[in-house]
Amino acid sequence: MKKVVSLNAPSSKEQEISSKDTTEILDFVKSALVGTGQKEYYNTKEEQREALLRVHTPVFSKHREFYAFLLLSQINDLNKQIIIYNLLANGRNISKKKREVENKLILCSLNKMRTSRAYRTLVMLAENKVNNSRTRGLVETWLKNRSNYIVEFVKYKDKAKRIIVHNHIHIDNEVWDFLFKTKKKDFKNQLFNDYYEARRNPNKLYELPYTIAEGFASYHNIDRKEFLEKIKKRMTNTEKLSRQTTAKRSGVKIEADWTKWELNRIYKYLYSLDRAPKTCKSELNEIADKIAQRIPYRYKNSVVIIDNSGSSYGSNEKKYHPISVSLALAKIIENISDNCKRLYTNNPGTRIVPKVRGATDLATPLIKALKHKPAFDSVFILSDGYENQIAGLVEQIIRVYKTKVDKKDKTMILQLSPVMAAESHSVRELSGQIPNVGILNENQLSGALLLLSMQHNEGKTIKQFTNFLKKKFEKLELNLSNFLLEGPNGN
């Protein structure tokens, strides 16, 4: 992101959340959950990013405190990057106490992001000339508290240089020489020496960490299969997991502990196997349970309707993505409900992962769910919304159900879509009368449930959510000196 649109300075007083504000906040959180800024079906990258920046403005201007606390939520990292930028670029006229809180939120957020995103965030600040003492202090503290900064400086050499120069950060002489000078001597730090050696000698690159070695493999035009075979012993489990598809394509076997994967990826992996591992069920439950503990919502009697029609296979580029996301969500919803039943649009078969085939008849399982005794209080429909047996029937069922049968609205019906609709940058609605949200993976479930409940009962939920984030903030631990909270000049 080269240039960021400047925003109006926020008002010094937090405003009460009105119903109009609720709409703004809703739009913001909805897009912040799934908006990635990547090229979607209809929009260019630039259009996507401008749209994201535009939706930030109202919330930041009027509800700075809530906006800052969103750094603890599950909105995606791109939007957290924008929040960090806005907070640091517009830091005047806020109290010292609020600044301390924001600093803590920013540091935690940077720590939790993927390393590449965190460095990109700091480079973005430099590129947009955000140059106040508060920012310089924060950046220096963050950099110097990185446990693996030597490896990071080697991997993100250019970014590190930019950040260090812009923020006037004093660093060790040897690190400075590595970053800014052409190699003229032997370094004490062996990694720096290996880096320069690998440039000249391709055999040396296999002594570097995988992420750094990969760049040199490309530089030396090394065959992918050969590279993976030789480097795999140096890969971390996360790296092994994320390179499974590449490895398979290259004909290289890389063993990895699949239970450390994201839940939706585990389901995709299970689809690729002829037979699921014996311990699979218990491990899936354990993983889902851990995720469920981080989610602040609980349900009593719920039902999950999973669309396992042919379209839930996804595409050749993203095989089994929609169904895997749905299964992950269903698993977690089962863990946050006292009682939960599962229904499918098509016969799932007997394997641990359901068969994916057939047309989309959501009406039949929906009726089954609605007539269940005892009644469910929550119905989750996990579907891309492309209904064809018969298109429009679910909308009719919901319309009549809500007006004639469930007049007191005791049953909450929600739609979560694991894909964005091809024709718009949003979810394909099954019915305009039920809340709906798009969700890319199970890590966004909290945010998605917030959005869904906001659509179901606005206003009240924003307060609940803010309180939840504040409580989360109180539990934060930062092993940093007090310096970080005040800034070098107490700013």
Partner 1 sequence: MEIKEILRGYEAGDPQMVGIMTMIPITTKTPYQSVGNVEDLVLEKDVSYQKLRFTNNSEEISIVPHGYMYLTQKEKAQDRTVGSTYLVDRKGTIEVDADCLEPSQGGLMRPGEKEWSLLPVGLKLPAFQKHGDQRYQSLWPDVEKYLKRAGLEGRAIIEFFKSYKDELDQFVAQFEPVENQVGAIILFGDKMVGMEVTPHYLFWNEMWRPIIRDCYGSDAVTLSKQGLGVGYKPILKEDVKNIADLESQTKEVFDKSKKFAQTVVDNILNEDVEKKETQNLGDWTLYDIESDNIRGQAVKHGPQHYVYSSVVYKGLQDPNVFEREFAPIWEKGEVYKKNEFKF
C-alpha span between 120 and 98 (Å, rounded):
25
Q: Is 386 in the site for partner 1 (CB under 8 A)?
A: yes
Give min distance, CB of 455 to partner 1, in A.
17
Q: Which is nearer to partner 1, 285 or 426 (CB)?
A: 426
C-alpha span between 218 and 198 (Å, rounded):
12
Give residue for tokens 């047996």.
389
Binds partner 1 (CB under 8 A): choice among 189, 250, 388, 466: 388
Give min distance, CB of 313 to partner 1, in A.
9
Q: Which is nearer to partner 1, 187 or 401 (CB)?
A: 401
Neighbours of 362 (CB within 10 A): 24
Q: Which is nearer to partner 1, 111 or 364 (CB)?
A: 364
Q: Counting Cβ atoms within 10 Å, is residue 483 exposed (0-12), middle (13-18) or buried (19+)?
A: exposed
Q: What residues from 295 to 354 belong to the interface with partner 1 (CB under 8 A)?
A: 309-311
Q: Is 81 in the site for partner 1 (CB under 8 A)?
A: no
Total residues at interface with partner 1 (CB under 8 A): 34
Q: Which is nearer to partner 1, 37 or 385 (CB)?
A: 385
Nearest to 36 by CA among 450, 474, 440: 440
Contact stretch for partner 1 (CB under 8 A) within 204-212, 274-282, 394-402, 463-471: 394-402
Based on C-alpha coordinates, what's the Rg of the chain?
25
| Amino acid code (one letter) for 201 | N
Q: Is 417 in the site for partner 1 (CB under 8 A)?
A: no
Read out DSSP for 360-376? ---HHHHHHHHT-SSPP
Binding mask 236-275 for partner 1 (x = CB under 8 A): ----------------------------------------
Binds partner 1 (CB under 8 A): choice among 51, 276, 280, 367: 367
Q: Is 397 in the site for partner 1 (CB under 8 A)?
A: yes
SS3 call for 127 = helix
Binds partner 1 (CB under 8 A): choice among 23, 390, 409, 488: 390
Cα-Cα-Cα-Cα torsion 261, 263, 267, 270, nearest 10 degrees, comes to 40
Give min distance, CB of 303 to partner 1, in A.
14
Cα dihedral across residues 154, 83, 467, 443: positive or negative: negative
C-alpha span between 360 and 159 (Å, rounded):
48
Q: How does 6-45 read in b/e, with b if 16+ C-beta sit within 10 Å?
A: ebeebeeeeeebeeebbebbbebbbbbbbbbbeebeeeee
Q: Which is nearer to partner 1, 405 or 476 (CB)?
A: 405
Q: Which is nearer to partner 1, 10 or 438 (CB)?
A: 438
Contact stretch for partner 1 (CB under 8 A) within 18-26, 118-126, 214-222, 384-392: 384-392
Give min distance, CB of 447 to partner 1, in A.
25
Q: Is 433 in the site for partner 1 (CB under 8 A)?
A: no
Both tokens of 4, joined, read 């960021």
Q: Is 215 in the site for partner 1 (CB under 8 A)?
A: no
Contact stretch for partner 1 (CB under 8 A) within 104-112, 120-128, 153-161, 386-394: 386-394
C-alpha span between 396 and 208 (Å, rounded):
61
Binds partner 1 (CB under 8 A): choice among 20, 221, 432, 489: 432
Cα dihedral across residues 245, 247, 252, 258: positive or negative: negative
Cα dihedral across residues 69, 72, 73, 79: positive or negative: positive
Strand partners, 421: none
Binds partner 1 (CB under 8 A): choice among 88, 306, 363, 484: 363
Binds partner 1 (CB under 8 A): choice among 116, 285, 301, 389: 389
Contact stretch for partner 1 (CB under 8 A) within 82-90, 245-253, 367-375, 464-472: 367-375
Give min distance, CB of 438 to partner 1, in A.
15
185 phi and psi, to 5 degrees?
-145, 170
Give residue for tokens 């994320």.
242
Q: Is 424 in the site for partner 1 (CB under 8 A)?
A: yes
Q: Is 422 in the site for partner 1 (CB under 8 A)?
A: yes
107 phi and psi, to 5 degrees?
-65, -40
C-alpha span between 375 and 105 (Å, rounded):
42
Give min distance, CB of 346 to partner 1, in A.
9
Q: What residues from 30 to 59 belong to the interface with partner 1 (CB under 8 A)?
A: 42
Q: Is 279 in the site for partner 1 (CB under 8 A)?
A: no
CA dist 132 to 120, 171, 470, 474, Å? 18, 19, 27, 27
Binds partner 1 (CB under 8 A): choice among 326, 360, 378, 453: 360
Binds partner 1 (CB under 8 A): choice among 45, 54, 399, 463: 399
Binds partner 1 (CB under 8 A): choice among 76, 361, 412, 414: 361
Instruction: Note the residues at the interface with partner 1 (CB under 8 A).
Output: 42, 309-311, 357-361, 363-364, 367, 370-371, 386, 388-393, 396-397, 399-401, 403-405, 422-424, 429, 432
